[in-house]
Amino acid sequence: MKYFRLGYDQVFLPKNNFIYNNEKIGSLSIMIKYKLFNKKQGNEILFLAEKSNEVNEAIAEKKYIFSYVKCSFDKEKLIDIKIKNKELEKIGYRLEYEIDSYMKDILDDTGLLATPVEISKEEFCEIMKENLRLFDNLDNYPTQSTAFGTYEV
């Protein structure tokens, strides 16, 4: 058996696709890596499984870590992440996070097939800042989580 931490992506959708450095961009996303702690004992809670794709993500009452996190677009900070600490405290947990990676989805000529490409934080911020009006839309209040990842410890 192996121990894992969990991560969830957060997808920022523009009002419409746009061209940036000769690439058609369909979305931007971040992967957030979480550390979950038992508040009473203070120890980190890791997820146990044989393989990374077998991790049971539920932490309490069949709720998932992303249920306690709200990620939104912010015109000044670009990314606004809020942890629902009061709700977590009620069930005995504390959550820490870090942004693990930044991605852009490059669309093919048809606009139907997206290829995710990892980018730097600087490029992510530059794309966002140059296209603020496109990312300032209801789809990003909050952003959407479409996938989870695992990090072997």
| 95 or 55: which leads in pLDDT | 95
β-bridge mates for residue 72, sequence order: 80
Name the band, by pLDDT with cuts 50, 70 and 90, for residue 49.
Answer: confident
Between CA 112 and CA 114 the distance in angstroms is 7
Determine the pLDDT at residue 65.
87
* Residues 31-42: tens digit of each pLDDT: 999 999 998 898
Radius of gyration of the chain (CA): 17
Determine the pLDDT at residue 32.
97
* Residues 119-137: tens digit of each pLDDT: 999 999 999 999 999 999 9
Determine the pLDDT at residue 130.
97
Determine the pLDDT at residue 108.
94
Between CA 7 and CA 107 the distance in angstroms is 24
Burial string for 104-140 (b: 16+ CB within 10 Å, else e) reads: bbbbeeeeeebeeeebeeebbeebbeebeebbeeeeb
Determine the pLDDT at residue 135.
98
- Mean predicted confidence (pLDDT) in 126-150: 95
- Mean predicted confidence (pLDDT) in 87-111: 94
Name the band, by pLDDT with cuts 50, 70 and 90, for residue 61.
Answer: low
pTM above 0.85, yes or no: yes
